[in-house]
């Protein structure tokens, strides 16, 4: 009699007792496609959260800062507020996401964090709305980053929990789409409530709470009965480290993502002030112009993201698209430095949106291609998230430095030229990546590390 086939060993860490428990996909991993109800409410929760998180970064905090700090110093103060609070996002997102992996609750692992985080998020943005001075504003926005990422970390982890590999690509794409549509919606919210601080901050927060709670209600969040062994605090700390000497391709891609994100946030965090001080618009006019600019940017991004992703697959080349799109984004920043009219601002938004669309689509694919270990994808993507969060913390300080060069806090030429140079460096750091794609005889695509010639 033949021996029965062995069951494959599940991926993950062994609990101190009991069965294997994957820190990525749960005890057994999803075997059935996620229902339309789960996928739809997941995307809606992402949209609601991104609107509430990105409205302050895009416009709302700048308006609040101008209310508290009149004059040229408002831009610098706003950048510093964003920088300080971004440190909370940097730590909270991966740590709370990881803690949700080992949460023991009859309500599941992810649901308690998202449900309670939504309450704290509304309270935090209420503090921001009523802040009477800059220290209270900083405290409120730091708390908002902490509670917002208490939602975001577990929310993104549910993709791995609920979605099987064959469905994961399309569902994961919702994150990028919802983030950029969230920025667009945030701009419109700001134009509607430009003079009402309570509605400006709290209305998006309440919308986020409703969408997140709806997802909590629909989510089939599996509870675990045995806490996995992650190696204590030391294990938790080293979860978010990938040795760039052992995995140089991942290291170069991480650095490129960091640099382009920094360049992008130098643009996002200061463009409202730029429209007022350099283009000469009123506060309402600047908000309306920014809203239209974000709409143009988003339309261009959606179109080129689809095209860039398709072409990179057809041409079996990621690097040329990442380098090219990053260089064009840098060109847009340099053009912005010399922009003095609203029509030219719209042209620059279209150029930068088109470039960033290609970058978002192809760079994400390149990141997945060069992950050190597919079994540790969630851990490694957590490391990559630092390249998305850390620049937000640095953008305010870097922007304040560049704005102060040779002027009194308003040297936007230096700011956007500096951002352009940073973006070019982001393109150059892709050159050492050795990953190559090849098409097999059966039509499938595989990747490999090319030897250096």
DSSP class per residue in 283-327: HHHHHHHHHHHHHHHHHHHHHHHHHHHHHHHHHT-SHHHHHHHHH
**Highest mean pLDDT (candidates 74-83, 322-331, 392-401):** 322-331
> Average pLDDT in the 182-202 region?
80
> Average pLDDT in the 112-124 region?
94
pLDDT at position 27 is 37
Quote the CA–CA distance of 217 and 115 in Å, as a whole number: 10
Quote the CA–CA distance of 282 and 316 in Å, as a whole number: 48
Phi, psi of 444 (to 5 degrees): -75, 160
> Average pLDDT in the 375-403 region?
73
Q: Is residue 172 packed enough to be buried (19+ CB in 10 Å), middle (13-18) or exposed (0-12)?
A: middle
DSSP state of 79: H
When pLDDT is cut at 50, 70 and 90, the band that residue 118 belongs to is very high
Taking Cα atoms as reference points, which of 270, 26, 42, 256 lies closest to residue 160? 26
pLDDT at position 391 is 84
pLDDT in tens, 227-240: 666 666 666 666 66
Q: Is the pLDDT of residue 267 over 80?
A: yes
pLDDT at position 367 is 72
pLDDT at position 173 is 55
CATH class assigned to 34-239: mainly alpha
Instruction: Pick 146 or 448 by higher pLDDT.
Output: 146
> Average pLDDT in the 45-70 region?
85
Q: Is the pLDDT of residue 390 over 70?
A: yes
Query: Are the beta carbons of 171 and 34 closer than 8 angstroms?
Result: yes
Q: Helix (H, G, I), strand (E, B), or coil: what is residue 162?
A: helix
pLDDT at position 328 is 94
pLDDT at position 399 is 87
Taking Cα atoms as reference points, which of 426, 207, 189, 187 lies closest to residue 328? 426
**H-run or E-run covering 436:** strand 435-439
> Average pLDDT in the 261-289 region?
87
Cβ neighbors of 359 (< 8 A, separation 6 or more) are 260, 308, 321, 322, 325, 326, 329
Quote the CA–CA distance of 391 and 89 in Å, as a whole number: 11
Least confident of 134-138, 242-246, 402-406: 242-246
> Average pLDDT in the 395-400 region?
83
The segment(s) of the chain belonging to CATH 1.20.1250.20 are 34-239, 244-439
Average of per-residue pLDDT values in the chain: 78
**What percent of the chain lies above the pLDDT cut of 70?**
78
pLDDT in tens, 415-445: 999 999 999 998 999 888 876 655 655 554 4
pLDDT at position 12 is 34
> Average pLDDT in the 109-130 region?
93
When pLDDT is cut at 50, 70 and 90, the band that residue 344 belongs to is very high
Q: Is the pLDDT of residue 452 over 50?
A: no
pLDDT at position 410 is 82
> Average pLDDT in the 244-249 region?
82
Place of tokens 């950029």: 180
pLDDT at position 5 is 44
Taking Cα atoms as reference points, which of 191, 153, 199 lies closest to residue 58? 191
> Average pLDDT in the 206-213 region?
95
Q: Is the pLDDT of residue 152 over 90?
A: no
> Average pLDDT in the 216-221 region?
88
Assigned superfamily of 244-439: MFS general substrate transporter like domains (1.20.1250.20)
């Amino acid at each position: 009699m033949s021996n029965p086939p062995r069951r494959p060993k599940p991926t993950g860490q062994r609990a101190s007792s009991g069965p294997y428990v994957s820190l990525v996909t749960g005890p057994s991993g999803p075997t059935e496609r996620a229902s339309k109800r789960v996928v739809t409410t997941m995307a809606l929760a992402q949209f609601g959260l991104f609107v509430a998180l990105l409205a302050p970064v895009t416009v709302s905090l700048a308006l609040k800062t101008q209310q508290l700090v009149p004059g040229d110093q408002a831009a610098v103060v706003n950048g510093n507020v964003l920088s300080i609070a971004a440190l909370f996002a940097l730590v909270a997102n991966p740590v709370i996401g990881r803690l949700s992996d080992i949460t023991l609750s009859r309500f599941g692992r992810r649901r308690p964090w998202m449900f309670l985080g939504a309450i704290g998020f509304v309270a935090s943005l209420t503090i921001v709305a009523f802040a009477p001075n800059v220290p209270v504003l900083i405290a409120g926005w730091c708390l908002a980053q902490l509670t917002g990422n208490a939602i975001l970390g577990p929310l993104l982890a549910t993709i791995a929990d609920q979605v099987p590999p064959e469905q994961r690509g399309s569902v994961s794409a919702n994150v990028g789409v919802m983030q950029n549509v969230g920025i667009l919606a945030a701009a419109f919210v700001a134009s509607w409530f430009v003079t009402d601080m309570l509605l400006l901050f709290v209305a998006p927060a309440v919308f986020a709470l409703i969408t997140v709670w709806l997802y909590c209600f629909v989510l089939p969040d599996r509870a675990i009965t045995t806490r996995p062994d992650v190696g204590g605090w030391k294990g938790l700390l080293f979860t978010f480290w990938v040795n760039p000497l052992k995995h140089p391709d991942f290291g170069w891609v991480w650095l490129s993502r960091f640099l382009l994100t920094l360049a992008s946030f130098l643009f996002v965090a200061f463009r409202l002030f730029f429209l007022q001080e350099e283009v000469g618009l009123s506060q309402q006019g600047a908000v309306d112009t920014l809203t239209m600019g974000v709409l143009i940017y988003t339309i261009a991004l959606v179109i080129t993201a689809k095209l860039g992703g398709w072409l990179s697959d057809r041409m079996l080349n990621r690097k040329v698209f990442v380098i090219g799109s990053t260089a064009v984004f840098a060109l847009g920043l340099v053009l912005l430095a010399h922009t003095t009219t609203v029509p030219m601002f719209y042209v620059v938004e279209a150029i930068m949106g088109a470039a960033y669309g290609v970058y978002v689509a192809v760079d994400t694919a390149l990141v997945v291609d060069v992950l050190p270990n597919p079994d540790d994808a969630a851990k490694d993507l957590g490391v990559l998230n630092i390249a998305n969060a850390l620049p937000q913390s640095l953008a305010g300080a870097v922007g304040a430095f560049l704005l102060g060069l040779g002027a009194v806090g308003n040297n936007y030429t230096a700011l956007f030229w500096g951002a352009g140079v940073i973006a070019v460096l982001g393109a150059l750091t892709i050159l050492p990546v050795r990953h190559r794609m090849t098409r097999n005889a059966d039509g499938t695509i595989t990747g490999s590390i090319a030897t250096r010639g």
